[in-house]
Amino acid sequence: MPRRGRGRNFGRGHWRGRGRGRGRGGSSSDAGPNEEETSESIGTSESVGTSEDLDKSLECSSDQTEEVKDNTEEEKEGVEEEPGDTEGVFLKEGDVGITEYISSSPGFSAIIKQRYSDFIVNEIDEEGRLVRLTSLEVDRSQMPADEEDDDTGLDGVLSPEQKEKLDDFNANPNPKRVIDICAPVDKVTRGKVHQIVRVRYKKLESDTLVEDDVRFIRISVKGAGGHWGSGQHFRQQNFQRKPWPAGFGNYCRFVLYKENMDTMEAVHKLTKFFHINKNMFQFAGTKDKRAITSQEVTVYRVKAEKLVGANRYFYKMALGNFRYVEQPLKLGQLSGNRFTIVLRDVTGTDEVIDSALQSLKTNGFINYFGMQRFGTTAIPTYRVGKELLKSNYKEAGELILQPRPGGFHNRV
C-alpha cells in the first residue's frame, strides 16, 4: 500500500492536512519562514476555488485507496504520557495549540499529497508575477551581442596568403597539421589574430608560443593539442577564463522546474553537472520535495546557452525562461507561493462541502505552523522554545541535553 497523507476537517478555517502518512499532522507547505504562503484550491488560477472545481477534481479520483489508520488509535488505553516524552508517540494538533477554526462548519475529510503530483507550488516573484516554466529555448533576440563574436575592425590583419591557408585549413581540418605565423610585435594586433580565429574559424584554435626567443602564433584543430608541439615550446598564454561580455548582466536568471526533489538537491545536481561552486547559485527560498514546483534561480556568469544544455540530461528537472540581470536573488525576495492541491477520497455532503469552500473563499483560514515545525524527537522543539520565551535558559538547556531513547547513552 503506498504511503500517503491524510487530511481532515477541511473548510472549518484552519489547515490541518496531514503530510506523508506518518501518523502526525502536516501543513500545506514546507516553505521556509521567509516565505509568505498563499493557498489555491483545485484546478483554479484564483487563490480559492469553488465547489465546481472540487467536483471536477473528484472525477479524477477513481483510484481511491483504503484510508490509513491514525497511529494514535493504537495507543494503549489508560496510559497517560506527556506529549513527546516517549519514542513512537507522535504529537497531535491539539498538543501544539492547533485547536481553533474560523468557520463553524463541520468541515469534510480528504487525503492530501497521496502523490507528489497532487501538490503543485508556483513561486510568486517580488513583483507579484506567478513563476511558470513556459520556454526551454534561449531567446537570442533578448540577449545582448557577444563582443567576442564581433569581427568589426579585423579586416586587413591577416595577409591574403595567410587568410587563404586558414580558409583551407578550416574547411579541411587535419589534427596532425598546424600553421605557424609570425606573431605581430604589437600586443593589440596579436589579440586581433586570436579573435579572427575564434570568430571566423570555428574549427580551429590559436596560441602564442615562444621558441628560441622567437614569438609566433600556432593554429591547430580544436582539441588536437597541436599547440604543445614536440614539448620544446612553451605556452605564453595563461589559462584564464574568457572575459564576461559587456552588455550582459552578471547573473543569468532562470526558472527551475523540478518534480519530487527539494531545491538543495536540484542545485547540487547542477553544480556537479557544470563543475561550479554551489555558492554561484542563489534563490529566494527552498521549495517542497514531495511536490511539483517552479521557482526562479540566479547563477553568476554562466551563459544561458550553457544552462539549457542540462535539459538533455536531467530527469524530472528542467531550466528555462532565461534572462540576464545585474543582481542575484536573495533569501526572502518573493511575494509568496501559490499552491494547487488535489484532494482525494473526499467525504462529506455537497451542502457541507459548498459551505466549507464558501467560508474558505470569503474568510480564509488560520495559517498555523505545520506539525513538521515542532520536530520528531522525544523532546518537541516547542517545549524548548516555550522555556526560551520565558527566559528560563537553564530549563531550556536541560531539555536540549535530556537523554533521548536510543541515544548514545543507552548503547553498550
CATH number at residue 204: 3.30.1370
In a domain, 331, yes or no: no
Query: Do 310 and 166 share a structural domain?
Result: no
Determine the pLDDT at residue 76: 39
Does the pLDDT at position 102 exceed 80?
Answer: yes
Pick the last residue of a domain from 261, 293, 325: 325
Per cent of the chain over pLDDT 70 is: 67
- To the query of whether residue 288 is one of the catalytic residues in this protein, the response is yes
Q: Report CA Rg, the chain.
A: 31
Q: How confident is the model at residue 57 (pLDDT cuts 50, 70, 90)?
A: very low
Residue 218 main-chain phi, psi, to 5 deg: -105, 130
**Statement to judge: residues 259 and 134 lie in one domain:** yes
Specify if 80 maps to a domain.
yes
Task: Check whether residue 194 and residue 317 sit in a common domain.
Answer: no
Over 80: is that where the pLDDT of 262 sits?
Answer: yes
pLDDT band at 273 (very low <50, low <70, confident <90, very high): very high
Q: Tell me, yes or no, whether 72 and 39 share the same domain.
A: yes
Q: What is the pLDDT, as a whole number, of residue 82?
A: 44
- Determine contact, residues 284/123, Cβ cutoff 8 Å: yes
Task: Report the pLDDT value the prediction gives residue 107, as an integer from 0 to 100.
Answer: 85
Question: Could you tell me if 337 and 38 are in contact, meaning their C-beta atoms sit under 8 angstroms apart?
Answer: yes
Supply the pTM of this predicted model.
0.56
Residue 204 lies in a domain: yes
Q: Are residues 134 and 254 in the same domain?
A: yes
Amino acid at 300: Y
- Number of domains forming the structure of the chain: 4
Structural domain of 320: 125-138+248-325
1-10, 48-57, 138-147, 306-315: least confident range: 48-57
Catalytic residue among 30, 207, 288, 345: 288
Q: Do 411 and 311 fall within a single domain? A: no
Length, in residues, of the chain: 412
Same domain membership, residue 94 and residue 31: yes
Segment holding 385, helix H or strand E = helix 381-389
pLDDT in the model for residue 19: 39
Cβ-based neighbours of 318, under 8 Å, separated by 6 or more: 133, 136, 256, 257, 258, 311
Inside any domain, residue 337:
no
Residue 330 falls within a domain, yes or no? Answer: no
Q: Based on the fold, state whether residues 280 and 132 are members of the same structural domain.
A: yes
273 and 223 inside one domain: no
Mean pLDDT computed over 188-210? 86
Same domain, yes or no: 40 and 95: yes
Closest CA to 280 of 255, 299, 305: 299
Residues 222 and 300 reside in one and the same domain: no
Q: What is the mean pLDDT of residues 315-320?
A: 96
Residue with more model confidence, 7 or 211: 211
> 103 and 21, same structural domain?
yes
